[in-house]
Amino acid sequence: MPQENVTTLPLTNRQAELLLREFAKDSRRLVNTIQYGAEEVWFEMVSYNQALLCLKEGRVIGRPEVDEHGNHVCVAHRVCGGLDVFVTFAIEPANEKRIFILNVENTQ
């Protein structure tokens, strides 16, 4: 009989990158949760294409963490147009297979 005490293994950076690459191929799986005010001009610093390239080709940095919804929250990094672009995203549990874009930042 199988044991009832099942431990979920943590998501590694490599596993997160593989899931990210798979899910980012289909734009219907990407959900942008960022709400910007009228005074914010983030798009002048990081374009949507740069953020998308960061998700498709970037490296997952740091350790993926599980949030209160059970999603795996990670940060992807890529150099785009001479800027370091960081995209914080959440991988939804396996049943929906979606990526939530939580934050986009760059360094100059």
Domains and CATH numbers, the chain: 13-107 (3.30.2310)
Output the pLDDT for position 57.
Answer: 92
Q: Is the pTM of this model over 0.85?
A: no
Strand partners, 76: 60, 87
Question: For residues 53 and 14, what is the distance between their CA atoms, to the nearest angstrom?
Answer: 17
% of the chain exceeding 90 in pLDDT: 22
Output the pLDDT for position 28.
Answer: 87
Q: Give the N- to C-terminal CA distance of the chain in Å, as an integer.
A: 57
Q: What is the pLDDT of residues 51-79, one digit of tens each?
A: 889 999 999 998 899 888 888 999 999 99
* Phi, psi dihedrals of residue 78, rounded to the nearest 5°: -155, 145
Output the pLDDT for position 50.
Answer: 85
Q: Which alpha helices (DSSP H) does 1-108 contain, by range? A: 13-24, 48-57
